Each structure stands twice: as C-alpha cells, then as structure tokens.
Amino acid sequence: MNAASVSAPLREVDDLPSPRGLPLLGNLHQLPPATHHLTLERWAAELGTPYVFRFATTPVTVWNDIELSHAVLRERPHRYRRYAPIENILKEFGCNGLFSIEGAAWEPQRRLVMQALSIPHIKAFYPTLAAITERLRSRWERAARNGRVVDMTDDLKRFTVDVTSALAFGEDPNTLENERVLIQEQLAMLLPMLMTRVNAPFAYWHYVKFPRDRKFDEAMADVHRHIRELMSRARARMREEAALDASEAPPRNLLEAMLALRDAPGSGITDDEVAANVLTMLVAGEETTATSIAWALLFLGTDDALQTRLAADSRRALGTSAVCPSYAAMRELDLCEAVCTEASRLHPVAPYLSFEPLEEVRLQGVRLPAGTKMFMLNRPAMMDPNNYADPERYDPDRWLHEHRQAQATQRGAHEPRAYLQFGAGPRVCPGRHLAAVEMRLVVSMLTANFTAQLATNPADIHEICTFTAVPSEMPMRLALR
C-alpha cells in the first residue's frame, strides 16, 4: 500500500508537524493519562494530520483519515500489528488473548471465539440473557423503591460480567445479587493498570513495585486462580459427560471448546493460552458494552421526550413482560441500540486505534519504517459534517433504517464506515452482535419499567481514558413507571 503521490517529495517522520516538547521527556508532560486522548485530538485540530508527538524519545505518528484507517485494518495481521507495548504488557498480565495476540496463533483462536459469539449461539443463549436482565431490573426496582441513587456504570459492569461468564464459561458469578464479588473488583483494575504501564517511559515495575503495583499483582494472582478453577470444573464436567455418553458431545460454551482444542493431540495450545483468552473475554465483555450503555444514559437522563418515546417503543416489543420476552421481539428494538450507537459516536469508547507496520510503508507521502508507532483517532471522522449531518447534535434517529433512507433522499450525510467502535477488517470485534443484544435488552428494560433522571449536573461528567474512554460518573435516580 502506497498513498504517496508520485510527484510529491517523500517526507520522513521527523518532517511532520509536532507540538513543542522537552528534551528526553518529549511531550510526556503534556499528556495527562486520564485525558491524553483529548490532547491528541486538540493537537490534530491545531496541527493537522498526520503529525508526530514524542513519547519520551519515541516518535508516535497521529492520523485521522477514515479511509486510511480502513486500509490499515484490512491489512492486519500480515502488514500491521497492534501497538507492541500492549501485547507485551498483556503477556505479563497473563491476558494476551484474541484481542492482542499476533501472528499465526490468532486465526485458530478467532474461529473458536467467533463460534461462541455467533448469532445462533446467542439466540440459543437468549433465555439466560433475559434472566440476567431481569436480575438487573430487580436490583433497580429495589433502588427506586428505596430512593437510592444508582451508580449506573458499576451496575452495568456487573450485568456484563454475569452475561459474559454465563455465555462463555457456563458459570454465572451473579455479581448483581452478591453485593461484593471480588472478581468484579479485581477485573476493574486491569485496564487502568494497562494504561499506566503502556504510558510509562520505562518498565519501572521490573525494578521496583509501588503499593498500587503490589495490590494489582495480588489481584491478578487471585483472578488467575479463579480462571484455573473454572478450567478445572469445565474439564471435570466434560469427563463426566464423556463417561455417560460414548458419543462425543459438542462443547456447550467457549471455555469447553477451547479446552477440547487444547487437549486434542498436537494442538500446540497451552493452558496458559486458554487462561489468557478467558481473562480477555471477561475484561472485554465487561468494559466496552457497559460503557456504551452508560454514555447513552447521559443523554436519556436529560431528555424526557426521548425517554417517553423509548418507553412506548419498548413496551410494544415487551408486551406485558418486564424484560424483552424473546429473541424475535428483541430484533424490533432498533431505537434502543441506536441511542447507544449515537452516544458512542459523540463519546467513543475507543478514542483511537494504535498500530505498527511490520514492514516499511509509505502513507500519504510519509515514509514509515517498520515498527513506527501509529495512533489513528476515531472521533474527528465521526464529528465531520462530510460524514454525519449536523455532527454535534445527539440524534439516534440517524442510525434507523427508515431515517437513513430519508436522509439519502435529502442528501444528508451519513457514512457508517466512519464509525469504527467495533473495528473493521479481518479483526473486527467478534462480540459486536452480543453487545447489540445487551444494549437492546438493558435500554428497553430500563425505559419500559422506569423513568430515569441524572443525579448530577451533566457538565460535571467527563471522559476518563482508562484504555477505554469511560464517564467519570453516571449517578441516576430511578422511579417506577
């Protein structure tokens, strides 16, 4: 791939515009970990892209061209890889699973995960999904009756941990009904620590452990003990079933499928790799979907008319049920998914994607040697009026099929390819359908059964980047309809 003009002179990374930095530190002092993504976006607006900043002495190029993003995503994993420090640190955490793994190990693991998260599998799993959603409804009903402010981000993470565990591992930790479940608290530490260590100028934890590092190490040791126990129980179930039935029963969940593959002769897969994918699923399943729904609540909690519309739409699909009763009815809840999609357009859960070329490439007239760090910003394209009409406005209708048809007639911009929250190309997120089902279930349950008001000033809610961009808080008061 070569986007360089034949006639234009080839530029080097050092020729790109750059914010002023300091010797040795580069631009580190200008990038507060919690809000560095906002600084990167501001520099893009001021300097144009591509530009380069320096992470200590390491140059990092920054881009916001949506066509380039798609081209890079298409050429993974053979020409580009994810930002190498992410994989290196996740290996240390014992969490180098499908999200971060590179090379030949990726494809067989991808097939397993795609099977576990396929539409037929999720459709068969729907009754369990509905039961966990009912559990969340009961929790919120108690809060409403007691007049208690709900920490929505925490409750949504409990919901997604329960869903992911039940679907992928056949065991439900029921964090929604058990007020203090250690595994949920421990998982919440992983992404912030990943962000801290990825952004550290050197691997200080190899030489000295601060109290936070020691606490994290203890938490990860507990998490891995929990995962090995999951694996042990799954193997025991598989042996018992094999003893009762001479025919080979198909795996019932992702963990059993991974263990069956691992235990097959000559698989080349280790227990450590299985454990890494278990942990990857737990973390990824908890964080991104919960955050997408939480950002939607920022808009729902301040818009009574939208809530009323959603309540009517949801009640038509739910009938007399408190939770959407069937997979078929769930498919009617397009608006419930649209409010989450539109919220994450304005507040992207993944504010940028990070890659490195595996060989020298030339992009937009710039020569990038192998290993050059590349950050590809997501929000600028989603806020571009050439991609979305009136991009500053929160408008869930822009994602509905009938509205898109009307927009096309009126020549209003709507470019779905500019929305990259699930990635694209061969490594597009395998959990995107599960995420959509969870969004529809939770938003329909909430709006059909409750009215919700934000319990703080919306201006006091900020984006905090802990690898994903999460709301600083999302407290809500619920009342029964």
pLDDT tens digits for 204-258? Answer: 999 999 999 999 999 999 989 988 998 899 888 888 887 777 556 667 777 887 8
Range of the domain at 443: 85-350+384-480
Q: Is residue 20 a contact partner of residue 52, using CB atoms and an 8 Å limit?
A: no
The residue among 302, 287, 296 whose CA lies nearest residue 345 is: 296
pLDDT tens digits, 73-118:
888 878 998 888 888 888 888 887 766 666 666 666 666 677 667 7
Query: What pLDDT, on a 0 to 100 scale, did the predictor assign at position 336?
Result: 97
Q: Is residue 376 part of a domain?
A: no
> How many alpha carbons lie under 13 Å from residue 456 in its C-beta half-sphere?
17
Q: Is residue 291 part of a domain?
A: yes
Q: From start to end of 273-325, where are the E strands?
A: none
Q: Is residue 216 a contact partner of residue 189, using CB atoms and an 8 Å limit?
A: yes
Q: Please return the burial class of 385, using the count of CB atoms within 10 Å of its CB with bins 0-12, 13-18 and 19+.
A: exposed
Q: Is residue 51 part of a domain?
A: no
| Radius of gyration for the chain, computed over Cα atoms and rounded to the nearest angstrom | 23
Q: Is residue 43 part of a domain?
A: no
Binding-site residue numbers are 429
Q: Is residue 40 part of a domain?
A: no
Binding-site residue numbers for heme are 429
Average pLDDT over residues 61-76: 92
**pLDDT over 90, % of the chain:** 56
Q: What is the count of structural domains for the chain? A: 1
Q: Is residue 72 part of a domain?
A: no
Residue 328 has pLDDT above 50, yes or no: yes
14 phi, psi to nearest 5 deg: -70, -15
Q: Is residue 73 part of a domain?
A: no
Q: Is residue 204 a contact partner of residue 187, using CB atoms and an 8 Å limit?
A: no
Q: Which CATH number characterizes residue 460's domain? A: 1.10.630.10
Q: Is residue 171 a contact partner of residue 230, using CB atoms and an 8 Å limit?
A: yes
Q: Which long-range contacts (CB under 8 A, 24 or more apart) does 300-309 make?
A: 300/339, 300/443, 300/446, 300/447, 300/452, 301/452, 301/453, 301/454, 301/458, 301/476, 302/454, 302/458, 304/451, 306/339, 306/396, 307/447, 307/451, 307/452, 309/335
Query: What pLDDT, on a 0 to 100 scale, did the predictor assign at position 3?
Result: 46
The residue among 277, 278, 310 whose CA lies nearest residue 293 is: 310
The residue among 432, 443, 428, 414 whose CA lies nearest residue 345 is: 414
Q: Is residue 21 part of a domain?
A: no
Q: Is residue 69 a contact partner of residue 382, using CB atoms and an 8 Å limit?
A: no
